[in-house]
A = this chain, B = another copy of it.
Amino acid sequence: MDILSGTGPVLVIAPHPDDEVLGVGGTMARLADAGREVHVCVATRGQPPQFSDDMVASVRAEAAAAHAVLGVTRTHWLDLPAAALGEHPHGAVNGAIGGLVADLGPDLIFAPHPGDIHLDHQLVFLSTLVASRPHQADYPATLLAYETLSETNWNAPYLTPAFVPNVFVDVSDTLDRKLGAFAAFESQVKPAPHERSVEALRALATLRGATVHKQAAEGFVLVRHVA
């Protein structure tokens, strides 16, 4: 009946672990409940010295817990260098994401918003767009950009691409699981009034929902839909 009602695999691409939950958590749970295969791709891996192997392992355990809450089918780790995609060969990022898209054949993809302040987000968006381009008969029918608290709202108003949602997904029934999944990312959650707090995430869901007369929603920007 709507843009979510397909049957093929779904792929959510996160530059760093927890982006996928902040932006698409409630929708992922709804899709999983509906029987869809839901894949998460985490594009980067924290690099030493900022991130030790232990820290990486710890965040991955958090992700596993969060993804279990949401019903994620499988999590794919691309291990590209975090906070360093700008220096990594663009072709290699294209190749890593493009390879996964080719393998899974998703008909619905969620990518970070190109207007996010984090350069990794901008570059992952571009590579996802390249991987999804309609240059052959088979390609993802729908590509949506999601918003990420603490990335999307911190860019420069009117000077960088704005996030103005035109697709709203009712997550009234899955918001609790989304917030629970986010809480599972103990290393990433910040206390209010930080924008990456449970309280801010709940407020965003309430606001996006109210815009379309729902208790809770996630907002997206449509990049392309082919019917």
Contact = CB atoms under 8 A, between A and B. Distances in A.
A61 interface: no
A100 interface: no
Contacts of A221: 157-159
Interface size class of A (residues with CB under 8 A): 35 or more
Nearest to A225: B167
B225 A222 contact: yes
Interface in A176-226: 192-195, 197, 199-200, 202-204, 206-207, 209-215, 217, 221-226
Interface in A147-163: 149-150, 153-162
Nearest to A47: B91
Number of copies: 6
A187 B180 CA distance: 37
Contacts of A150: 135
Interface in A104-150: 113-115, 117, 119, 125-126, 129-130, 133-137, 139, 141-142, 145, 149-150
Interface of A: 1-7, 83-84, 86-87, 89-91, 113-115, 117, 119, 125-126, 129-130, 133-137, 139, 141-142, 145, 149-150, 153-162, 164-170, 192-195, 197, 199-200, 202-204, 206-207, 209-215, 217, 221-227
Given A1-B5, A5-B227, A168-B225, 10 more contacts: A86-B89, A86-B90, A87-B90, A134-B154, A134-B195, A154-B211, A166-B223, A167-B222, A167-B224, A217-B226
